[in-house]
Amino acid sequence: MQSDVIGKLSEIVIDTPDVVGLSAFYRDLAGFEVVRTDDDWVTTTSPEGWKVAFQLAPNLVAPRWPDPAYPQQMHLDFVTADLPAAIERAELLGATRLPGGGETFSVFADPSGHPFCLSRRDGVDGVGLADVMIDSPDGATLARFYAELLGMKSAYEGPEGAMISAGGQPDVCFQNVASYTAPRWPDPAYPQQYHLDVEVADADEGERQVLALGATRLPGGGEDFRVFADPVGHPFCLVW
């Protein structure tokens, strides 16, 4: 079911100790174009029109996939028609092959340690960004929270998780994780790794609505953003 839109997914934000280096990695892998650079932040746009930002986290505790004590929290899924060539390119650019995968997909860590997946899909030119995947102890329930938040529709729900989608926005997927360990913002020992920025027209009304859905207000914020946790602990920001 699609609700009235509370907000729109503005950008996917990735923590890294090297904003320039990691943004360059994804530029060279999947054609991300840099549109803004600051000392602690780089914003890029993918060829599909998604905004992906890189936020400075000097003391980042990187994921150690598949160790549940150092979880990924979120990851990006990429697709390509030529999987062997994409695998070779990812490794040449500095990605590390991780456990998992099969004939149709492979798992890597980017140079900051964040896992990502490369999957085979016919008809894709180069390497394309397919979706953002969010870890959850109950993907279907978390998908319903984000569907309400973003005004998106359920596109899939099954034993491995769920997916929501809407025209003009990235697909957002939710992966069931049995040994899920939540972020504990702002504790650096339990980092967020990623977060989503959600654009709203009215900050106070947006806050009222997300709290009613089950979000929690977190420390932090500024003149144009407020920080919250979703029902399983992933931080996200309302921005305006």
Statement: residue 178 has pLDDT above 70: yes
DSSP code for 100: -
Could you write out the three-class secondary structure of 126-184?
A: CEEEEEEEEEECCHHHHHHHHHHHHCCEEEEEECCEEEEECCCCCEEEEEECCCCCCCC
pLDDT at 1: 37
pLDDT tens, residue by residue, 86-141 = 999 999 999 999 999 889 999 999 999 999 999 999 999 999 999 999 999 999 99
pLDDT above 90: percentage of residues in the chain: 94
Mean pLDDT lowest among 39-48, 119-128, 134-143, 169-178: 169-178
Total residue count of the chain as it appears in this document:
240
Model confidence at 2: pLDDT above 90: no
Give the per-residue pLDDT at 4.
62
- What does the block give as tokens for 217? 């207000």
Q: Answer yes or no: are the C-beta atoms of 63 and 114 closer than 8 Å.
A: yes
Per-residue pLDDT at 3: 45
Q: What is the tens place of the pLDDT at every residue in 180-231?
A: 999 999 999 999 999 999 999 999 999 999 999 999 999 999 999 999 999 9
Domains of the chain: 8-239 (3.10.180.10)
Which one, of 180, 173, 67, lies nearest residue 115 by Cα?
67
The proportion of the chain whose per-residue pLDDT surpasses 70, expressed as a percent, equals 98
